[in-house]
Amino acid sequence: MSDNDNDAVIILGGGVIGLSIAYYLSKSPDFRRRIHIIDSAPRLLESASGYAGGFLARDWFKPECAALGDLSFELHRQVADEHGGQRRWGYAGSHVYSMSLQGEAEGSRVEDWLLEGTSRAAAVGRRTEGHVSAPGEVVNGDGTPAWMVTQDGASWNVVSGAEDCAQVEPRRLCEFLHEECRQRGVEVHLSSRATGVVMDGDGSIVGVKITSTDNQPCGPRSLRCSDIVVAAGCWTPRIIESLFPRNRTKIEIDPLAGHSILYRTPRYAKPFMNVAHGQQDKFHGKDENIAYAIYCPPTESWSWAPEAYARLNADSKPEIWVGGLNHDGTVLLLPELATDTKKLISRESLAELRKVAVTLTGLKATDSQVAEDDLEVEWEGLCFRPVSRTGVPIIGQISPKDLGVGFHNTLGAKVWVASGHGPWGISLSLGTGAVMGDLVEGREPRVDLSALKPESRMGSKL
């Protein structure tokens, strides 16, 4: 391979989607082409993929991406089983509960508060399925998991069991994908941005022009390729606009900000449930620990629907992630670089987030209604969900005609998009990587993607 292999694949964006695509392409036995991941940030995982909650579901999706959701859920389990994901990125089946708290905002139901396609809570509101109980589960008097504070006047429902929901540590999953890609020769170019396409004399796209985002000289100024995959989350529309200024379409993906917090509490000191020997079949795998997901509606005390995830992390330490659609409502402009997102963190939003975390999981003195803050915070973060206007991801090729590069390019590089996964990019990541691998290799994708194609949603630009 040389720097100018004509048939290289260039993936723009090194979040969980870009990494998953590179993972499946580089894993394919017949695939011998060079793969480049170009990311504008100086470090990977400063975006949603590094700060997400890590909740996975099999079938909480709109019909258009139900098959992709099911495929992806199976692949998460398969990859975890093959590579020790239970230990390396905290993969575990998850029990899921919804909890209504005293003082729930009057007349509110979770799904009224949230735009479709932007939160899991809307799906929770529609579900009350059976609970797969297992031996060893430690619960409070009211039946809630023991790491939660017993809430006076609260009621709760079991939403789903570990056979259809799971959790991972998103950052560790991405690190695993990155390491596998690196070992198979995938090249990651950080602090780099594609600023234009290279055309041959016939007007066919034959490569991309690369410039540095940190004013340092960076490798070759252009990379030849036969496929360009734009998988840059919320930044995807900007990339399409800048590479194809004459494009007559728009990829509609909006950034939806969310603060989150990861912490430990003394009450979640060890995994609550080891599936007893002989019970594994019930959980369809080798899960030894069970994670917990709790969804709460807005209350008089907070205006958003918190999501709390408790799991054993890859360092064998129990941790809790709390987040949700909790940004205070001011419009946050997507920064140029993912690393600059930190500058937008709102102290007020973080303070409210911590108040929620303490209310749900802080130390509750027996004679007090108010929980105390004894949480040990690992990190507090802000990131942007890439939300498509239709609430499902956009996956497929953008035709040369739509890109405005002319008909000559039928022989030039193909341009693909894989983005707009909203609040579900971790769950849908491996499935997206696998089907994009199929498409780039010229195979029929393993699940029907016709409802996710870019063409089906593009409006004309006036």
Ligand X SMILES: Cc1cc2nc3c(=O)[nH]c(=O)nc-3n(C[C@H](O)[C@H](O)[C@H](O)COP(=O)(O)OP(=O)(O)OC[C@H]3O[C@@H](n4cnc5c(N)ncnc54)[C@H](O)[C@@H]3O)c2cc1C
Residue among 218 and 363 whose Cβ is closer to ligand X: 218
The pair of structure tokens assigned to 365 is 């003195």
Q: What is the DSSP letter of 273?
A: -
**Cβ at position 142, least distance to ligand X in Å:** 25
Q: In the set 8, 9, 10, 15, which binds ligand X (CB under 6 A)?
A: 15
Residue among 234 and 375 whose Cβ is closer to ligand X: 234
Q: Beta partners for 274?
A: 289
Alpha-carbon distance of 438 to 445, in angstroms, equals 5
Q: In the set 100, 160, 247, 260, which binds ligand X (CB under 6 A)?
A: 260
Q: Give the x-and-dash track for 188-207 against ligand X (CB under 6 A).
A: -----xx-------------
Q: In the set 8, 10, 14, 357, which binds ligand X (CB under 6 A)?
A: 14
Q: In the set 25, 52, 75, 240, which binds ligand X (CB under 6 A)?
A: 52
Residue among 247 and 364 whose Cβ is closer to ligand X: 247
Residue among 33 and 58 whose Cβ is closer to ligand X: 58
Q: In the set 161, 237, 386, 396, which binds ligand X (CB under 6 A)?
A: 386
54 binds ligand X (CB under 6 A): yes
255 binds ligand X (CB under 6 A): no
CA distances in angstroms from 458 to 27, 63, 64, 253, 389, listed in the order given: 32, 19, 16, 12, 11
Alpha-carbon distance of 445 to 461, in angstroms, equals 30
List of E strands, 200-356: 205-212, 222-224, 227-230, 253-264, 291-295, 306-312, 318-324
With contacts defined by CB under 6 A, how many residues of the chain interact with ligand X?
43
Residue among 38 and 96 whose Cβ is closer to ligand X: 38
Residue among 54 and 437 whose Cβ is closer to ligand X: 54
Q: In the set 239, 371, 447, 449, which binds ligand X (CB under 6 A)?
A: 239
192 within 8 A of 213, measured Cβ to Cβ: yes
12 within 8 A of 194, measured Cβ to Cβ: yes
Task: Give the pairing of strands 253-264 and 205-212.
Answer: unpaired
385 binds ligand X (CB under 6 A): yes
18 binds ligand X (CB under 6 A): yes
**Cβ at position 363, least distance to ligand X in Å:** 25
Alpha-carbon distance of 151 to 100, in angstroms, equals 9
Using CB atoms within 10 A of its CB, is residue 30 exposed (0-12), middle (13-18) or buried (19+)?
A: exposed
In 3D space, the residue among 340, 14, 28, 313 whose CA is nearest the CA of residue 175 turns out to be: 14
Q: What is the DSSP letter of 145?
A: B
Residues making contact with ligand X (CB under 6 A): 12-18, 38-41, 44, 47-49, 52-55, 193-194, 231-235, 239, 258, 260, 323, 338, 383-386, 419, 421-427
